[in-house]
Structure formats: structure tokens, C-alpha cells
């Protein structure tokens, strides 16, 4: 399996939105009444603009099989939301439960680097794609002068142990009502 990692471009947005919906459909169904592909594309574009070069895709044979979006500061996401050209698209996301899609794990993380999105196509899990995406993002963060990055993952024992194996530390657990998540950090 030959996987390439690259910075996202505008032409990738549709494919990323489809992958997002495929990977997070169960969470979306439990948490939201409805969310359509256009809304997801708007969120993806917001993250792309907030992250600059920290939105990375994994491709195999030209098809996107995973993506990661990391922001140097979550404050950049809020700056994008309150941009007058975007605000009216996102004002509904400023109330629960939608706000969970665009906010950090806690206020403490607002001015720290944060992995906002990470997804791997279900057919490609447990093949090192997620680790490759994380490592690519950490290289980007290192060049940008970031010292520590926060993220949250589902509280599955095997997943948490895998992240710990590669240097991540647990900060806390959080229950969203649709499953438990673990807040972690990794020094860059």
C-alpha cells in the first residue's frame, strides 16, 4: 500500500466532506437532528482557512483515505467564524450541540495547538494511516514553533494505548452523551 500525504486543496473539499460524513455518521445522527454535505463542506473550508498548512490528506491511488486538521491556535477557528463573510453560515453552530464541532476540548486549549479533525476511511483503519497523518502534522507544527498539541479521541482502550505508545499523555476523559472521549496531548 503506497500512501502519500499532502496539504489539502480546494479541489479536495467534496471528497473530504464525504469521508467526514462516512466516518462520523453515527455521532452526527446521535448528536444532531440533521446535517447535510453543504454544512460539512462549510465546516471543512472554515478549518482549512484557520489551519493554513495544517490540513493534511492521505491518499492511496489518488483517492483520499484520511485527513487531519490541526490549528496552531484554536483562536484562529474563532477568528474565521466571526469573519463577517462567514458569521451567518455559522451562527447556528454557536449553540449546543453544534458548537462541539468547532470548539476545543476546554477553554484551556484555546491558545494551544489542537487537532480539530482526524478521520481515516473505515477500510483503512489499523494500517498506520492515522499515525502517518499525525506524524505529518507534528512535522508541520514543529516547523511552526509549536511545543505541544492537544486532541481528543474516542475512549477505546486500543486506540488510547496506541496514542500513548507514541508519546501522548492523557489529560482527562469527557462524556458527550454519545460516547466517552479522552483528551490527550503530545509534545511536538
Domain that holds residue 19: 3-145
What are the Cα distances from residue 165, in Å, to 3, 108, 150, 171? 22, 25, 16, 15
Number of domains in the chain: 1
Residue 118 included in any domain: yes
Residue 168 included in any domain: no
Q: Indicate the SS3 state at residue 122.
A: helix
pLDDT digits (tens, 9 = 90+) for 119-160: 899 999 888 898 899 899 999 999 988 888 888 777 776 778
- Examine the pLDDT at 107 and tell me if it is beyond 60: no
Residue 36 included in any domain: yes
Number of Cα atoms under 13 Å in the Cβ half of residue 111:
1
Q: In which band, very low, low, confident or very high, does the pLDDT at 87 lie, cut at 50, 70 and 90?
A: low
- Examine the pLDDT at 182 and tell me if it is beyond 50: yes
C-beta of residue 15 within 8 angstroms of C-beta of residue 64: yes
CATH code assigned at 124: 3.40.630.30
Q: Which of 162, 77, 165 is nearest to 115 (CA)?
A: 77
- 96-107 as b/e: b if 16+ CB within 10 A: eebeebbbbbee
Residue 169 included in any domain: no
Cα(35)–Cα(47) distance, integer angstroms: 17
Amino acid at each position: 500500500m503506497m500512501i502519500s500525504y499532502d496539504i489539502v486543496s480546494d479541489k479536495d473539499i467534496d471528497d473530504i466532506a464525504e469521508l467526514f460524513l462516512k466516518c462520523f455518521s453515527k455521532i452526527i445522527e446521535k448528536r444532531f437532528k440533521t446535517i447535510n454535505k453543504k454544512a460539512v463542506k462549510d465546516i471543512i473550508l472554515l478549518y482549512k482557512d484557520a489551519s493554513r498548512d495544517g490540513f493534511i490528506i492521505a491518499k492511496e491511488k489518488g483517492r483520499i483515505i484520511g485527513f487531519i486538521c490541526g490549528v496552531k491556535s484554536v483562536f484562529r477557528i474563532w477568528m474565521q467564524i466571526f469573519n463577517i463573510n462567514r458569521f451567518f453560515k455559522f451562527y447556528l453552530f454557536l449553540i449546543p450541540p453544534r458548537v462541539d464541532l468547532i470548539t476545543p476540548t476546554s477553554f484551556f486549549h484555546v491558545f494551544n495547538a489542537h487537532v480539530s479533525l482526524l478521520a481515516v476511511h473505515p477500510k483503512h483503519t489499523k494500517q498506520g494511516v492515522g499515525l502517518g497523518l499525525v506524524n505529518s502534522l507534528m512535522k508541520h507544527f514543529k516547523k511552526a514553533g509549536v511545543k505541544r498539541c492537544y486532541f481528543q479521541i474516542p475512549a477505546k482502550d486500543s486506540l488510547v494505548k496506541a496514542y500513548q505508545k507514541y508519546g501522548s499523555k492523557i489529560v482527562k476523559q469527557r462524556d458527550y452523551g454519545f460516547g466517552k472521549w479522552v483528551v490527550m496531548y503530545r509534545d511536538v
